[in-house]
Amino acid sequence: MKKLILLLWLGSQWIHAQDTIPKSPLLSKRNEVRVDVLALATSRLNITYERFLNKNFSVGVSGIYSNNKKNKDDFDEGNVDFFSKYELIPFVRYNLSQGARSFYFAEIFADANGGDFREIVLLSDATNNNYYAIEKSKYNDLGLGAAVGYKYYIKDQFGIEFLVGFGSNLFNKDKSPDILSRVGLGVSYRF
């Protein structure tokens, strides 16, 4: 009987101890704005808004605009077949760790993307002579993918995030890129 009373007492103390763990000030801050510094290094602008629904889930959207001269020159010279100009990426994240200040996460995302496509086509003139020509066109597509990452906060408002993931375009695969990469090193402000 004494063992049972001791066990019940220890159990109630453990439950009470779980209630007395101080909550992180981060949990009251639900919004975050982030800029990807890796994208800036390659002349791409990648800005993200993330909304924290609770301790485990968040949703957000990233907007990417590319005006990289090197990539555009590679496209114009025929070194690559496509030049991605924009991406709009809504995502859902799940916190894989228990910490609020630093944690690992998993993400699923959709990726609406578009840009320019270049191909060499065989054409015929009025006298049935065949010749090759370069045709440029626009592409738009929608892809799905998944990513994992790690986030660390400094002073409960400034964050550093590393993210890596991949996806695939679904509909316009003859013109759009087959593989979508989601790689970033972001700095953020949480409020």
Share of the chain above pLDDT 70, in %: 88
Average pLDDT score over residue span 159-163: 97
SS3 54: coil
Span 51-63, mean pLDDT? 95
The reported pTM is 0.76
CA distance 67 to 85: 7
What is the number of other CB atoms lying within 10 angstroms of the CB of residue 75?
Answer: 20
Residue range 68-75: mean pLDDT, rounded: 75
Query: Distance (Å, rounded) from C-alpha 15 to C-alpha 138?
Result: 60
Integer Cα distance of 59 and 113 in angstroms: 19
Region of residue 158 (left: phi > 0; alpha: psi -120 to 50; beta: else): beta
Per-residue pLDDT tens digits for 95-107: 999 888 999 999 9
pLDDT given for residue 159 in this prediction: 96
| Residue that the structure tokens 């998944």 belong to | 146
**Closest to 165 (Cα-Cα) out of 101, 89, 103, 57:** 89
pLDDT at 6: 60
Q: What's CA 53's distance to the chain center, in Å?
A: 18
Reply yes or no on whether the pLDDT at 3 is more than 90: no
Q: Over the chain, what is the mean pLDDT?
A: 87
